[in-house]
Amino acid sequence: MNYVFDFGVVFEKMPELLLGAASTLGLAIAGISLALIIGVLGVAARSSKYRLMRGAVIAFVEVVRNTPFLVQIFFIFFALPMMGIRLNPTVTAIIALAVNGGAYAIEIIRGGVESISKGQVEAGLALGLHKFQVFRLIVLKPAIRTIYPSLVSQFIMLTLTTAVCTSIAAYELTSVAQMIESDTFRSFEVYFTITIMYLFISSIMMGLFALISRHFFSYPTR
């Protein structure tokens, strides 16, 4: 092996890489926030009294979970413009991540909601709260608490899936790395460096999720 390592290139391009990492973090946080909203609203809609609404949620979840993310993002980026919807790569990436993560979040959160005892719901109804208030104020928090670890690992996966957004030339860490690599041919140094950076990004997300957990879910249970 006579490859000579030269991380000088990487240090030179560090500002760009850090910007790419920040962008990845931004995409992940935006995607996860929207995915969480889709997840919660989806679960609420899934128990709607309207059959059409319930059916739509189920269909949405099935379509998203049984097709590749790459195809989903291509669909939004290349197919939607044919119908007059033209979105820039960053917006496309956020929407694709939100839609994909949202479908998984619906399934995970639904599991949590189903684990909440009927007695909780009945106590809320008996106090005069409406069905949606019961869901939002009584069921939701304990439900998310029970499935929080699964939700977190799904969202960490979503964080790493941002790399696929390179395929539509969205600005994020992997696409920045690709540009640097094709300019410098320093494949090992560049990909080694972003591997470490992805580990950092994951740790930051884990840290955020731990903070959120401590803030919202630290109430004692038996």
Partner 1 sequence: MLTSIQTDTPLISLTKVEKWYGAFHALKAINLSVRKGEKIVLCGPSGSGKSTLIRCINALESIQSGTITVDGTTLDNNSTSIDAVRREVGMVFQSFNLFPHMTVLENCTLAPMRVRGASKPDAERIARKYLERVRILDQAEKYPAQLSGGQQQRVAIARALCMEPNVMLFDEPTSALDPEMVKEVLDTMIALAVDGMTMICVTHEMGFARQVADRVIFMASGEIIEEATPEVFFTAPQHPRTQAFLGEILAHH
Closest CA to 165 of 26, 11, 34, 63: 26
Q: Is 215 among the residues that bind partner 1 (CB under 8 A)?
A: no
Q: Is 119 among the residues that bind partner 1 (CB under 8 A)?
A: yes
Q: Interface with partner 1 by CB under 8 A: which range of 30-38, 87-95, 128-136, 180-188?
A: 128-136
DSSP of 57-108: HHHHHHHHHTS-HHHHHHIIIIIGGGGT----HHHHHHHHHHHHHHHHHHHH
Q: Is 122 among the residues that bind partner 1 (CB under 8 A)?
A: yes
When the beta carbons of 45 and 125 are compared against partner 1, the nearer one is: 125
Q: Is 148 among the residues that bind partner 1 (CB under 8 A)?
A: no
Interface with partner 1: number of residues (CB under 8 A): 23
Q: Is 221 among the residues that bind partner 1 (CB under 8 A)?
A: yes
Q: Is 47 among the residues that bind partner 1 (CB under 8 A)?
A: no
Q: Is 115 among the residues that bind partner 1 (CB under 8 A)?
A: no
Q: Is 2 among the residues that bind partner 1 (CB under 8 A)?
A: no
Q: At what angle do helices 89-114 and 14-46 cross, to 10 degrees?
A: 40
The distance of closest approach from Cβ of residue 55 to partner 1 in the complex, given in angstroms and rounded to an integer, is 24
Q: Is 127 among the residues that bind partner 1 (CB under 8 A)?
A: yes
Closest CA to 10 of 198, 199, 201, 187: 187
CB atoms inside a 10 Å sphere around CB 63:
12
Q: Which residue from 48, 120, 202, 213 is in contact with partner 1, where contact means CB under 8 A?
A: 120
Cα-based torsion angle of the residue sequence 38, 40, 46, 52 in order, rounded to the nearest 10 degrees:
-40
When the beta carbons of 36 and 94 are compared against partner 1, the nearer one is: 36
When the beta carbons of 63 and 123 are compared against partner 1, the nearer one is: 123
Q: Which tokens sit at 146?
A: 């029970």
- CA atoms of 108 and 105, how far apart (whole Å): 5
Report which DSSP code applies to 4.
P
Q: Which residue from 13, 46, 145, 186 is in contact with partner 1, where contact means CB under 8 A?
A: 145
When the beta carbons of 98 and 116 are compared against partner 1, the nearer one is: 116
